[in-house]
Amino acid sequence: MAEPLPRRGPGPALAFVVLGTLLLLAGSILGLAVAPPENFMGDVQRIMYVHVPTAWNAMLAFTFAFGCALLFLFQGGWKWDCRLEAAVEVGVFLAVLLCAQGAIWAKPTWGVWWDWDPRLTTTAVMVFLFTGILALRHFVDDPLKRATWSAVATIIAFVDVPIVYFSVRWWNSLHQLQSSPSTVSSVFHLPLRLNAFGVLFLMIGFITLRTRTAGLRLQGELAPPLPEPAAAPGLVPTRAGA
Amino acid sequence: MGYLEGGWEFVYAAYALSAVAFVGYGISVFLRFRAERARARREAPGAPEVSS
């Protein structure tokens, strides 16, 4: 569980972040300046190039957290707990950003910033559930209890992720159907794909670095207490002096 | 079916918000990693890291 690892710098994580940033910049330039406006939504549809990749990767982060929770419970190993913590935090970050981007897109197209529509409601529930897991981890001091409880809570919270994805098909929703290469015109594919991989690499970089932070903190929590400093001989209490 | 005219201010807002969020969160993750690594080195120099 506490196998020695060489002390590595943040290099691999930063490499993913740099690659993701470059892809996201390229995709955004194409989406803003090169891709044509959509037939009905016009230029506002360009928000799709950041909104949809954020949504895909938020759900991917929660799916990864779900996998980590199962592996921690059935296989064991602190590394799965560290990865779960990182994936949940990055997933919550992406999901909150997703809601903000969605609100900005909703105002000009639907006329409102927010609506209690099935897709938006289930997404809000997803954000609150996973934020609750982060809060749970913050308030539980015992590492084993924290890891076990948050793994169980992650499995329960993950039930909402497929509900979010299929909500637009299962219920009558203001939100359009899921965006994918089959539902999006081919002229929009390149910026969408570049941004999807850009956000994916950023997410991998963030999760990698955040996992190492969680590992370092756990190392401190699991380490035996430091020995008491040796006292000077004259200060050691003895029975005779008592 | 109508056609939505304009709306560039919403597009710029969405991209600017995303850029600020990614940069801000990235800096936060890096600073927390650096602080935790410094703490670990201070408390147990040379100790093995937990596999993560």
Kindly state the tokens that stand for A40: 């009905």
Which chain A residue has the Cα nearest residue B47?
A4
Kindly state the tokens that stand for A158: 């993950």
Within a domain: B30 = yes
Concatenated DSSP letters for A55-123? HHHHHHHHHHHHHHHHHHHHT--HHHHHHHHHHHHHHHHHHHHHHHHHHHHHHHHHSSS----HHHHHH
pLDDT band, very low/low/confident/very high, at A231 (cuts 50, 70, 90) = low
* Residues of chain A neighbouring B27 (CB-CB closer than 8 A): none
The answer to whether the CB atoms of A10 and B52 lie below 8 A apart is no
Within a domain: B22 = yes
What's the structural domain count of chain B?
Answer: 1
Domain that holds residue B37: 13-43
The answer to whether the CB atoms of A51 and B4 lie below 8 A apart is no
Per residue in A121-160, pLDDT (tens digit) is 999 999 999 999 999 999 998 999 999 999 999 999 999 9
Per residue in A16-37, pLDDT (tens digit) is 999 999 999 999 999 999 888 8
Within a domain: B17 = yes
Within a domain: B48 = no
Quote the minimal CA–CA distance from B45 to chain A in Å: 11
Q: Which of A21, A78, A108 sits opposite B10 (nearest CB)?
A: A108
Mean pLDDT of chain A: 87
- Cα A206 from chain centroid? 9
* Residues of chain A neighbouring B6 (CB-CB closer than 8 A): 42-43
Cα maximum dimension of chain A = 95
Backbone angles phi, psi at A111, to 5 degrees: 90, 0
Torsion of the alpha carbons at A173, A176, A180 and A186, rounded to the nearest 10: 160
**Domains identified in chain A and CATH numbers:** 13-34+45-218 (1.20.120)
Per residue in A187-217, pLDDT (tens digit) is 788 899 999 999 999 999 999 999 999 999 9
> Global pTM?
0.87
Q: Which of B10, B36, B50 to mutate to test the interface with A (most CBs of A within 10 A)?
A: B50
- For chain A, how far is it from start to end, CA to CA, in angstroms? 45
Q: Which of B13, B32, B52 sits opposite A104 (nearest CB)?
A: B13
Q: Which of A129, A127, A147, A120 is nearest to A221 (CA)?
A: A147
Which chain A residue has the Cα nearest residue B31?
A213
Side-chain-side CA neighbours of residue A169 (13 Å): 7
Within a domain: B2 = no
Per residue in A29-73, pLDDT (tens digit) is 999 998 888 877 888 899 999 999 999 999 999 999 999 999 999
Concatenated DSSP letters for B18-47? HHHHHHHHHHHHHHHHHHHHHHHHHHSTTP
- A230 vs A195, more confident: A195
* Predicted pLDDT at A119: 92
